[in-house]
Structures are given as C-alpha cells and as structure tokens.
C-alpha cells in the first residue's frame, strides 16, 4: 500500500462515531489517495481518481458514500460497480467494516455466478448500498428488482478493468438509470481513452486526483535464470529458500498452474490453483483458504487473479515472464502492501530475456540476478501454513453467523479465541480457520457438540480435497 500521509482522519468533517470506528480499525493517518480524494468527495464533487489496489482507495470512496447516507431511508442510495465478484465482495466487506459506526446499514452484493432469486428477495427488504458487477446490476434494473431513483452516490471502481472486460455498454446503461443529481466517483488504475470518454459523458466538472504508486521502491526484486525443464522445481527451490508465509505464483497458462500445484503438493507445500476452469464454488473455497492463511501458495493465471486483494502477501513469483510489461507491474504490485516490504521473484529462461529487457526499460532499473544453485533450503522443510480450514455444512440460510461459530469453538469445545482465525459464512456453508495443530480435534469436538442448538456436519477442507482427488 502507498505509505500513509501525516494527515489524520480527524482533519476531515466526519462524524464522531465514524472517527472512533476508523481509529478502532487502526486507520489513523490517511493514505495518499484518501488525503487527495476525501476533501473534494466529502464536499460533493465528482472525482476521477487514479489509484491502484492497495492504495486505500476502497476506504476513500466508502467513507465518502457513507457520509451522505441516510440510514433512516431504506432506499438504495449508493451503488458501487466493480469488475469482478471477488472485488465486489472485498468492497462489500470494507464498506461493512466502515459502516459499523452507524445503525443497521444494509450492504448487498449483486454479482453474476450467484442465483438471482435470493438477491431479489434481499433487495425487496431494501439495501442502502449495492455493490455489484455491471451485468448483474443491469439484470436487476431490467427486472425491476433494483430501483436507483434515490441514488446519491455512484462509484465506478477499477473502471479500466471493467472496460477491459467488455462492460462499457452495461456501465452506460446502468448510469442512465441513476438520477442526474448524483455524485459520481470514478476510480481507475490507468487512464485510457475510453475512461476519458466515459468521464466526459457522465461526470460533472470532475476533480482529478492522482497519486504516484509508491509500490516498486518497497519491493525487493530478484530474477533467476532457469532451464525450461527445471522451471517448476525451481519454484520450490525459491519457496524453500525464502520461506514466505504467503505467495502468489503466476503462470501464463491453466495447464501450467495445475502442473505446478501437483509438483508443490507432492513436495509437501499447501498450494492451490486458481484459474478460469474452476467452478465458482471451488474458486471461492480456494480464495477463502488463501485469505485465512490455510494455503500458503496460490498458483494463478493473471485473469483469475484480477481484482484479488490479499492483505499481507509476502511474495510474488513469476513462474514465467509475462510478455506484457503492464501485467508484470500489476503482478509484482500485489506484494509490498501496507508499507510492508515485498518480494518479487522471477524465473526467466534464455528465450525470455527479451521480455526482461523490456521490463528493465519500463522500470528504469536493471535486474538483480541470483543463482538458483546458490540458494540454500532453510531448515524444517516446506513451510506449512499457520491455519487449517474447517467446513461446516450450514450457512447464512441456516441463520448461522460468525459469532455462533466462534462461540461454539470457544464455549463447549473449549478452544481459546486466539486459536481461531477468520470465519467466512456463505449461503449454505461456513468456513473457519483454526490453528493447524488443533484442526482434527476441532472437527471432532464441533461434530460432537451443537451449533445454535443443532448438530452440524464438519470436516477439514484438506480431507475433502484429498477424497476428491
Ligand atoms: P485498498 O486499496 O482499498 O484495496 O486497501 C488496501 C488495504 O489498506 C486494505 O486492507 C485496507 O483495510 C487498508 N487501509 C485503507 N486505508 C487505510 C488507512 N488509512 N490506514 C491503514 N490501513 C488502511
């Protein structure tokens, strides 16, 4: 993340509960993009903000839209359009965190890949804030399940990515269904011509804010020359030497993702693939396990990793050098967030040296080369993730909330809260991360006990995966 400024949130005209909540979240100083965009946004101005993931952009627009929100009015007052479901879910979570200060603000995610009907039912109860992908939001508008006539804030998040993904027409159609009096906040990492076109059409005298990405300076980058037939094994050499707690390894093809996962798992790493051939549910499960620290290596294609924001990503490995220098920047920009130092490692065969040359030119710096055969494996073998994930058959539809699961584990089952990690509740399943060493015992105790007065089925995700293999 770009380093924070020396400007505290308390310099903004925010409510006392909002300021208290920000402090509780550990948000004391504004990040650069927040310091640049919040004053005009809170004053009601339209905005074109050029900012990358990790810059704190979500909080920038979330604080602005919450500022204008009237909780007593149950109509939809804010809409955030996002390119992907993952991003929409992250944005929803961040808005919910930031909205804790106010009463009962309902935030709803509207994305493709989930059934329409539950979304329509939830909308019927009213949602103050909707976050979704343009196609699905348009679907709801056409069916009349979403009404934007009371909208006061429209956010276009990662607008360049939405255009890349062919959402131009849907975006235009959605914007046309919103009141002209709305405030529009456009966030985009780049500023191609299409964005300009969109902005001219739909923004009113927008203020442009831009912050330089501070990321590259905080990222240690090393490259290693590799022979083609060593490539996959070289990844484990890197992992065993640097021992990062969390890594994304980027591959150029799905096939290579699967092959690499097989190699890494055979060597004792907990690695999972993320690519376009996965069913939505499998994809969600992989992301949950990576984010809750039950999986230490995510092996992904660029498309699959779009919009993914994982806090505390220690290392990025380029299993192959991408031909696109912008993609390279995007890949390595995923590490070194939140002021932490990042590590970016690149494996390059002789055939890929031309690509390395173009990257050097773009970054304006020379590559630091290391030698694979000089890397020593650290003692202790492949680093195991800190946590393990349990799946509970039962979710939001069964009225299960994270607190119920935490309660069952720390109550009757006798574990301490410190042994329990992230809890994700989806419609029909819940996932809870527990310390790796207690996973089997936790399955046993939860299965023998009760959750909300009922027996539940519980299993380790790792057992599920091995029985499916
Ligand atoms: P984003 O660029 O919106 O994906 O945010 C990157 C990360 O920074 C998220 O995990 C936020 O929770 C965190 N964050 C945003 N604003 C602040 C802040 N002012 N201080 C500390 N952390 C922040």
Distance CA 311, CA 54 (A): 9
Same domain (yes/no): 56, 134: yes
Nearest to 328 by CA among 167, 211, 219: 219
- Residues of the chain with pLDDT below 70 are 1-3, 212-217, 307, 309-312, 337-340, 466-469
Structural domain contains residue 380 = no
Mutational test site, ligand 1, from 59, 100, 335, max ligand atoms within 8 Å of CB: 59
Distance CA 181, CA 421 (A): 44
Same domain (yes/no): 128, 9: yes
Distance 6 CA to ligand 1 centre (A): 15
- Assigned token pair, 349: 């065969």
Tell me if 232 sits within 8 A of 263, measured CB to CB. Answer: yes
Distance CA 376, CA 318 (A): 20
- Give the structural domain span for 426: 387-461
Atom of ligand 1 nearest to the CA of 338: 8
Same domain (yes/no): 77, 206: yes
Same domain (yes/no): 35, 51: yes
Same domain (yes/no): 370, 437: no
DSSP state of 13: -
Same domain (yes/no): 186, 235: no
Same domain (yes/no): 222, 173: no
Structural domain contains residue 355 = yes
pLDDT score of 339 = 58
Structural domain contains residue 358 = yes
Could you read off the pLDDT of 269-288 as tens digits, one per residue? 999 999 988 888 898 899 99
CA R_g for the chain: 23
Please indicate whether residue 27, judged by its CB atom, sits closer than 6 Å to ligand 1. yes
Same domain (yes/no): 41, 131: yes
Distance CA 178, CA 463 (A): 48
Count the residues in the chain: 469
Structural domain contains residue 381 = no
Other C-beta atoms lying within 10 Å of the C-beta of residue 149: 9
Distance CA 189, CA 171 (A): 17
pLDDT score of 137 = 97
The domain that holds 64 is classified in CATH as 3.40.50.300
Nearest to 2 by CA among 365, 363, 333: 333
Distance 256 CA to ligand 1 centre (A): 33
Mutational test site, ligand 1, from 31, 60, 337, max ligand atoms within 8 Å of CB: 31
Atom of ligand 1 nearest to the CA of 51: 2
**At CA 349, angle to CA 345 and CA 351, rounded to 5?**
135
Please indicate whether residue 309, judged by its CB atom, sits closer than 6 Å to ligand 1. yes
- Assigned token pair, 9: 């949130």
Distance 268 CA to ligand 1 centre (A): 33
DSSP state of 446: H
Same domain (yes/no): 227, 205: no
Distance 59 CA to ligand 1 centre (A): 7
Same domain (yes/no): 230, 193: no
Distance 3 CA to ligand 1 centre (A): 10
Handedness of CA 258, 264, 270, 271 (dihedral sign): negative
The residues pairing with 272 across neighbouring beta strands, listed in sequence order, are 298
Please indicate whether residue 182, judged by its CB atom, sits closer than 6 Å to ligand 1. no
Please indicate whether residue 1, judged by its CB atom, sits closer than 6 Å to ligand 1. yes
Please indicate whether residue 311, judged by its CB atom, sits closer than 6 Å to ligand 1. yes
Distance CA 23, CA 81 (A): 27
Q: Tokens 């994270």 map to which residue?
A: 402
Q: Which of 193, 210, 227 is the last residue of a domain?
A: 210
Same domain (yes/no): 66, 95: yes
Number of domains in the chain: 3
How far apart, in Å, are the Cα atoms of 39 and each of 48, 61, 63, 196, 450? Answer: 13, 11, 11, 23, 50
The residue whose C-alpha atom lies closest to atom 22 belonging to ligand 1 is 27
Structural domain contains residue 338 = yes
Distance 128 CA to ligand 1 centre (A): 23
The residue whose C-alpha atom lies closest to atom 4 belonging to ligand 1 is 54
The residue whose C-alpha atom lies closest to atom 9 belonging to ligand 1 is 56
Could you read off the pLDDT of 190-227 as tens digits, one per residue? 887 888 889 999 999 999 998 765 444 478 899 999 99
Please indicate whether residue 57, judged by its CB atom, sits closer than 6 Å to ligand 1. yes
Pairing of strands 429-435, 387-393: antiparallel
Structural domain contains residue 469 = no
pTM of the full predicted structure? 0.56
pLDDT score of 192 = 79
Distance 58 CA to ligand 1 centre (A): 7
pLDDT score of 166 = 81
Distance 468 CA to ligand 1 centre (A): 37
């Amino acid at each position: 993340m770009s380093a924070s400024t020396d400007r505290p949130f308390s310099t903004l005209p925010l409510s006392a509960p909002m300021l208290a909540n920000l402090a509780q979240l550990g948000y004391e100083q504004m990040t650069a993009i927040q310091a640049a965009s919040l004053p005009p946004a809170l004053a009601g101005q339209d905005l074109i903000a050029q900012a990358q993931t990790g810059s704190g952009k979500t909080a920038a627009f979330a604080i602005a839209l919450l500022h204008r929100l009237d909780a007593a009015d149950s109509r939809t007052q804010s809409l955030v359009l996002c390119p992907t479901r993952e991003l929409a879910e992250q944005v929803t979570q961040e808005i919910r965190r930031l909205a804790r200060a106010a009463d009962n603000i309902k935030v709803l995610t509207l994305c493709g890949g989930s059934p329409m009907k539950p979304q329509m039912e939830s909308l019927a109860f009213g949602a103050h804030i909707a976050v979704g992908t343009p196609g699905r939001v348009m679907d709801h508008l056409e069916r009349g399940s979403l009404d934007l006539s009371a909208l006061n804030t429209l956010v276009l998040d990662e607008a360049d990515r939405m255009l890349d993904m062919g959402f131009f027409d849907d975006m235009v159609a959605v914007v046309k269904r919103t009141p002209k009096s709305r405030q529009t906040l456009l966030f985009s990492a780049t500023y191609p011509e299409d964005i300009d076109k969109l902005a001219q059409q739909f923004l009113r005298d927008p203020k442009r804010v831009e912050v330089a990405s501070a990321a590259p300076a905080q990222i240690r980058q090393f490259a290693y020359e590799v022979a083609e037939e060593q490539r996959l094994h070289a990844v484990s050499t890197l992992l065993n030497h640097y021992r990062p707690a969390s890594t994304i390894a980027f591959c150029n093809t799905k096939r290579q993702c699967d092959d690499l996962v097989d190699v890494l798992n055979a060597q004792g790493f907990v690695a999972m693939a993320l690519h376009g051939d996965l069913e939505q549910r499998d994809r969600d499960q992989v992301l949950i396990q990576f984010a809750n620290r039950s999986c230490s290596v995510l092996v992904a294609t660029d498309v699959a990793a779009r919009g993914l924001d994982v806090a505390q990503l220690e290392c990025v490995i380029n299993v192959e050098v991408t031909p696109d220098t912008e993609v390279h920047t995007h890949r390595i920009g995923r590490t070194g967030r939140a002021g932490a130092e990042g590590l970016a490692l690149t494996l390059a065969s002789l055939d890929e040296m031309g690509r390395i040359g173009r990257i050097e030119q773009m970054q304006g710096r020379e590559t630091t080369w290391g030698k694979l055969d000089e890397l020593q494996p650290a003692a202790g073998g492949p680093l195991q993730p800190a946590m393990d994930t349990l799946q509970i058959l039962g979710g939001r539809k069964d009225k299960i909330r994270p607190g119920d699961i935490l309660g069952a584990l720390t109550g009757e089952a006798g574990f301490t809260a410190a042994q329990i990690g992230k809890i994700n509740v989806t419609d029909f399943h819940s996932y809870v991360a527990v310390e790796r060493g207690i996973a089997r015992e936790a399955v046993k105790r939860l299965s023998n006990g009760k959750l909300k007065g009922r027996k539940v089925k519980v299993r380790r995700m790792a057992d599920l995966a091995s029985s499916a293999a």
